[in-house]
Structure 1
Amino acid sequence: MSQTTRKHTTTLAGEEVTYEVSRSDDATQPRIDAGIDGITVVLPASLDEDPETVLMENAGWVLEKKTKFDQYRADIPDRTFEAGERFPYLGEDHELIIEPRQKSEVVDQTIRLRQSAVDQSSVERALRNFYRREAREYLSKRLDQFAGGMELDYDGVQIRNQRTRWGSCSTNGTISLNWRLLMAPPEVIDYVVVHELAHLREPNHTDAFWSLVAEYIPGYETHEDWLEENSTRLVFSADDL
């Protein structure tokens, strides 16, 4: 489990940086997560360390990421959540259609939402629920397939609304994956799945870890770069930020 505190502000090399602090039971050492939603300092729950010290020690990296993601924010889709709008599904844009039907599903390059689901909440909520349902089914299948090939056992999967990470692997073997991954291309999704499964064997990003990832996802660097360069395409709504 993790708990995030309110936003803080500090100054790095003369530049003001806003960040959050998260304490995690799964973290074994301090780390900094940087994304289009901002900077988060993740600290082990049992470690008494000043988050500003962690930021100062990595000031160059933090400022580089901040500049990049500030630029990315300008490219965030301005979604209106109306019929006819296009949303990515497994890397390809699909037209949103709202109609009377028994189940929301993908049909011939369209996402067809059940009218009653929209009437009971909103287009945005109905579409979010659709993505989460589809993500659970799709990601679970990919996890099972790769876990079998890698001869690894994981202890369940959680489809989460993570703000700064695409996936994580807890110390007890539970894999958590971000439902927004369903908007990414299949090969990118497979990279994230294998990345998290590899942590079951190699907890840290050692050479052995990356060799294991490369064994099952040759050229994984391409997919890693795609995620970094196309994060804005996977922003669902302003609530993500």
Structure 2
Amino acid sequence: MSALIYLEGRELSFFYGDERIVFLRLDRPKASGKVQIKVYPDCRVVASAPEDADSETVLSAVKKRGRWIYEQLRDFRKQLEFTTPRQYISGESHYYLGKQYLLKVIEAPKQIQGVKLLRGKLEVSVRTKSTEKVKELLTDWYKARAKETFAKRLDAMLEQALWVEARPPLRILTMQTQWGSCSSNGRITLNPHLVKAPRECIDYVILHELCHLAEHNHSKRFYRLMSQVMPHWQQTKVRLDGMAAVILNA
């Protein structure tokens, strides 16, 4: 879990049945090991490989996962069919901590502009109705809630992460393809969109990054540690991944 948007790489492709699947090949400097393949909710396929691996080796590795990639793309495309662009008008449904809330936009020229969570609704007060202003206010509100919520959940998860000696620095940063990341110097970065997911999903992402403080790669030891602190993390991951298309576009 790292990086914002993959801007550099080489496009390669292969056929699975009648479908041509295009993927982006990224180099991992000074890395060894297997080719890592990810399919993102926006249907981008990325293969991360050691920089000295030739294209044929990478292509072969990706082809072997052809069926899995095809099924991932199929599932994400189904989700995207039901995802309509946000208009930020009254009546829309928006997520917060796993629950859906109706958006209510109030035009009040003399009131302070802002967002309140009241009686199952997200009420946004604006001086004049503007899609961009409503979006801006909601974005700021989500970031503020994320900062507060993530700090509390980090403290709670640290009680389980006995290998962590000191509370790691926490940063909130909007990312297009990741829920979170852990830098080489131990800073944890979390996506504010994650605050729209259920608390269990937030805890999963935080624990995932805390495990990276002990194991920097997705090794067997990493997953063993993850299973020790959250035995059912796979189910939680599936739940979060299933909500990705809706949450990231909300």
Q: Percent identity?
A: 25
TM-superposed CA distance for 1:197, in Å, is 0.9
Give the number of aligned pairs. Answer: 236
Could you tell me the TM-score, scaled by structure 1's length?
0.79
TM-superposed CA distance for 1:182, in Å, is 1.2
The amino acid that maps onto 2:94 is F
* 1:215 matches 2:228: yes
Given that residues 12 and 25 in structure 2 are in contact (C-alpha distance below 8 angstroms), is that contact kept between their aligned partners in structure 1? no
* 1:229 matches 2:242: yes
* 1:201 matches 2:214: yes
Name the CA shift for 1:219/1:7 in 2 (closer, same or farther; >3 Å).
same
Partner SS state of residue 44, structure 2: strand
TM-superposed CA distance for 1:158, in Å, is 2.6
* 1:79 matches 2:97: no
Partner SS state of residue 38, structure 1: coil
Write the distance in 1 (CA, Å) between the matches of 2:63 and 2:84.
33
Which residue pairs with 1:32 in the alignment?
A: 37
The amino acid that maps onto 1:193 is I
Which residue pairs with 1:11 in the alignment?
A: 14
TM-superposed CA distance for 1:4, in Å, is 1.7
Name the CA shift for 1:134/1:25 in 2 (closer, same or farther; >3 Å).
farther
Counterparts of 1:143-158 in structure 2 under 5 Å? 143-151=154-162, 152=164, 153=166, 155-158=168-171
Unaligned 5+ segments in structure 2 are: none
Partner SS state of residue 196, structure 1: helix
Write the distance in 1 (CA, Å) between the matches of 2:114 and 2:64.
51
Given that residues 113 and 124 in structure 2 are in contact (C-alpha distance below 8 angstroms), is that contact kept between their aligned partners in structure 1? no
Partner SS state of residue 213, structure 1: helix
Given that residues 154 and 200 in structure 1 are in contact (C-alpha distance below 8 angstroms), is that contact kept between their aligned partners in structure 2? no
Unaligned 5+ segments in structure 1 are: none
* 1:59 matches 2:66: yes
Pair member with larger Rg: 2
Superposed CA deviations along residues 12-33 of structure 1, whole A, max 9, x for unmatched, are 3342123345566798765222
Write the distance in 2 (CA, Å) between the matches of 1:26 and 1:196.
22
Partner SS state of residue 122, structure 1: helix
Which residue pairs with 1:111 in the alignment?
A: 122
Write the distance in 2 (CA, Å) between the matches of 1:26 and 1:138.
36
Name the CA shift for 1:86/1:67 in 2 (closer, same or farther; >3 Å).
closer
RMSD of aligned residue pairs (Cα, Å): 3.2
Write the distance in 1 (CA, Å) between the matches of 2:32 and 2:60.
17
TM-superposed CA distance for 1:206, in Å, is 3.7
Write the distance in 1 (CA, Å) between the matches of 2:142 and 2:8.
28
Counterparts of 1:87-126 in structure 2 under 5 Å? 87-99=94-106, 100-101=111-112, 103-116=114-127, 121-126=132-137
Write the distance in 1 (CA, Å) between the matches of 2:153 and 2:20.
41
Name the CA shift for 1:123/1:102 in 2 (closer, same or farther; >3 Å).
closer
The amino acid that maps onto 1:167 is G
